[in-house]
Amino acid sequence: MTSLLEQKCVETIRFLSADTVQKANSGHPGLPMGAAAMAFTIWSRHLRHSPRNPKWIDRDRFVLSGGHGSALLYALLHLSGYQLTLDDLKNFRQWGSKTPGHPEFGHTVGVETTTGPLGQGFANGVGMALAEAKLAAEFNRPSYELVNHYTYAIVTDGDLMEGISSEAASLAGTLKLGKLIYLYDDNQISIEGSTDIAFTEDRMARFASYGWHTQVVSDGNDIDAIDAAIIAAKKDLRPSIIAVRTLIGYGLPNKAGKASAHGEPAGVEELARAKTEAGWNPEVSFLIPEDVASFFLSRTDILEGEHDIWMKLIKTYQTHFSDLATELIRRMRGELPPQWTGELPIYAADAKGVATRIASGKALNQFANQLPEIFGGSADLAPSNKTNLDGMRSIKAGDYSGRNIHFGVREHAMGAIVNGIHYHGGFRSFGATFLVFADYLRPAIRISALSGLPSIWVFTHDSIGVGEDGPTHQPIEQLASLRAIPNLVTIRPCDANESNAAWKTALERTNGPTALIFTRQNLPILDRNIVADASMLEKGAYVLADAGDQEPELILMGSGSEVSLIFEAGLRLAAEGINVRMVSIPSWELFEAQPESYRKEVLPDSIAARVAVEAGINMGWAKYIGEGGQVISIDHFGASAPAEVLFEQYGFTIENVIETAMGVLKK
């Protein structure tokens, strides 16, 4: 039965959160005050974690999908003994604080996900649960359940409105991810007012149709009822959602249950009245009664005891399964094993060439054979993206030992699920689709960059080379839009050998995501006996070759499918007596990370005549071509026609590169 002390703990969470928001005079008190009881129930009766060992492999994961309620999470972290002080709470939303307006992974200890854009946390949790299920399938042995934990989340009306949640919930139900338990903060209020104005569906019927276990708790302050619902959820083999009827801003005399409680501080007088009515001293802020502090400390001691039991288990496991234990620890640390690249194919010069998507598929499979942590999939496009892991099973309900994920046509959820897998740890995951559909998962790509996750995004069909499918499927602005995302490395290799190097570079990244851009059409394989080695891709840009008998007077540069154009054009110009440098620039971000001396070595200031060629918009190329250069680009939508016709019609020909270069030289 709920004790008076537990009720006091809930009130402490409620007022600590509200004080945090009020001190900053900025934030969202409504969710923390309304959801305090269900958050307390999760954290005090169910969540297995270790404040003193926050990276414990077998900890339960907690996701606050409604990240605007971050004050709730910070209050729980502080009370539970994480390295988050009262001063940190008092510094909420301020410069340099550990308590930003929305939770940020890697910034605040104990925060498992970066949330705030609604729906992302919902789908991240699905990725976490999938990672747990797969890790358990790989490493658990009879009597040794090293991996046996749950993913809990508090989700909101806004989360459920977002389409990404429908996508993710459908897949979670299909895969029967039974370790996934979501508590839905059913307060029926959004910023614009009652959810009746836009959200009247039967939520639980919807989730039941997805294959979820559904329950309803009518009183959001009934700790015992919430506890019983979570216990029932744990016994069900399906993912679970519990609709908990709450009152936004609970305790506020004038704002409770109103939209005004959502996103603005309660106000000094309103908060004081709330404390008075609850029997608290209205003059005191950030109060943590001694008995409440002792309650949480005792809970932390119990949790540390569970962590110690697990540590004894893994030590015994190590004696019986030494190699498995070593592998598990390596993977959870995100480390690569020695000599992990294996023997990659080296492609000989070939004028007919090979599509880089095909070379990508071969590289991916080669690396997957060396790295068991690689698993991922495509948004129902694996045959086109060439991302199927050959000879390896697919993930399916009840059997999570496979390595191919069938995401279905769900790009946005795919992106956030891949991120969730990386939040969890133990894997290197990827998601694939056509480049033009990068827009469908852009919010997840952005969060992967913000969170420093090593997610790998595979995009094929990278230009007007898509051909007859027409402008709906021909990416024009997508390359520039990806390059605009901070901490995302975008790589567009020019041939099969650069494709190998691109995958190697992506897998070596540990502090951010990589977008790999591949062609549908065949590309010539450059003769690496003539041009620089493809391993130079790791520098982002490099000199393919200098043609002519004197110092270069012209630089031709490009990425991806256009590099073969500049190379052939350069050779013809050299035959006419013009000294040309040909530069491959597969990744702007990697190039910008090089020392200035290297960048100037590749693109010397002394050479003003420059031509860049890329089948996309010209945005950004100005920094490389300078005032004297020119870009051959496509700054309009494409058309439906064979690829070779489109390239010719839009000026992506050797002849046009030569003509443009001659014009630049005459300036």
Model confidence pLDDT, tens digit, residues 357-403: 999 999 999 999 999 999 999 999 999 999 999 999 999 999 999 99
pLDDT class of 343 with cuts at 50, 70, 90: confident
Query: In the predicted model, is pLDDT for residue 1 greater than 80?
Result: no
Model confidence pLDDT, tens digit, residues 17-63: 999 999 999 999 999 999 999 999 999 999 999 999 999 999 999 99
Query: In the predicted model, is pLDDT for residue 64 greater than 80?
Result: yes
Whole-angstrom Cα distance, residue 166 to residue 188?
18
Share of residues in the chain with pLDDT > 90 (%): 98
| Alpha-carbon dihedral 477, 478, 480, 483, rounded to 10 degrees | 170
Tokens 């009879």 belong to 142
Report the pLDDT averaged over residues 321-329.
Answer: 98
Q: Return the structure tokens found at 297.
A: 């400390």
Q: List the Cα angle 631/634/636 in 5-degree steps.
A: 140
Q: Return the structure tokens found at 604.
A: 């010397």
Q: List the Cα angle 517/523/526 in 5-degree steps.
A: 105
Q: Coil, helix or strand for 248?
A: coil
Active-site amino acid positions: 411
Model confidence pLDDT, tens digit, residues 498-515: 999 999 999 999 999 999
Query: In the predicted model, is pLDDT for residue 496 greater than 90?
Result: yes
Across 565-597, b (16+ Cβ under 10 Å) vs e yields bbbbbbebbbeeebbbbbbbbbbbbbbeebeee
DSSP per residue, 171-229:
HHHHHT-TTEEEEEEE--EETTEEGGGT--S-HHHHHHHHT-EEEEES-TT-HHHHHHH
Contact between 28 and 286 under an 8 Å Cβ cutoff? The reply is: no
Whole-angstrom Cα distance, residue 183 to residue 546?
63
Report the pLDDT averaged over residues 249-271.
Answer: 97
Q: Coil, helix or strand for 582?
A: strand
DSSP per residue, 76-145:
HHHHHT-S--HHHHHTTTSTT-SS-SS--TTTSTT--S---STTHHHHHHHHHHHHHHHHHHHH-BTTB-
Query: In the predicted model, is pLDDT for residue 157 greater than 80?
Result: yes
Q: Coil, helix or strand for 597?
A: helix
Tokens 């990244």 belong to 509
Q: Coil, helix or strand for 37?
A: helix
Model confidence pLDDT, tens digit, residues 525-542: 999 999 999 999 999 999
Whole-angstrom Cα distance, residue 357 to residue 353?
12
C-alpha distances in Å from residue 646, one per residue of 148, 369, 619, 638: 54, 38, 21, 8
Report the pLDDT averaged over residues 284-309.
Answer: 97
Tokens 């409620």 belong to 14
Residue of 26, 22, 23 lying closest to 68 (CA atoms): 26
Q: Coil, helix or strand for 36?
A: helix
pLDDT class of 344 with cuts at 50, 70, 90: confident
Report the pLDDT averaged over residues 422-436.
Answer: 98
Query: In the predicted model, is pLDDT for residue 667 greater than 90?
Result: no
Pairing between β-strand 456-460 and β-strand 428-434 as defined by DSSP bridges: parallel
Query: In the predicted model, is pLDDT for residue 563 greater than 80?
Result: yes
Query: In the predicted model, is pLDDT for residue 180 greater than 90?
Result: yes
Residue of 617, 550, 554 lying closest to 583 (CA atoms): 554
pLDDT class of 552 with cuts at 50, 70, 90: very high
Q: Coil, helix or strand for 577?
A: coil
Query: In the predicted model, is pLDDT for residue 342 greater than 90?
Result: no
Q: Return the structure tokens found at 626.
A: 């300078």
pLDDT class of 227 with cuts at 50, 70, 90: very high
Model confidence pLDDT, tens digit, residues 437-489: 999 999 999 999 999 999 999 999 999 999 999 999 999 999 999 999 999 99
Pairing between β-strand 193-194 and β-strand 456-460 as defined by DSSP bridges: unpaired
Contact between 97 and 87 under an 8 Å Cβ cutoff? The reply is: no
Whole-angstrom Cα distance, residue 86 to residue 483?
39
pLDDT of residue 2: 78
Contact between 569 and 654 under an 8 Å Cβ cutoff? The reply is: yes
**SS3 of 422-466:** HHHCCCEEEEEEEHHHHHHHHHHHHHHHHHCCCCEEEEECCCHHH
Across 513-534, b (16+ Cβ under 10 Å) vs e yields bbbbbbbbbbbbbbebeebbeb
Residue of 607, 640, 641, 638 lying closest to 624 (CA atoms): 607
Model confidence pLDDT, tens digit, residues 592-625: 999 999 999 999 999 999 999 999 999 999 999 9
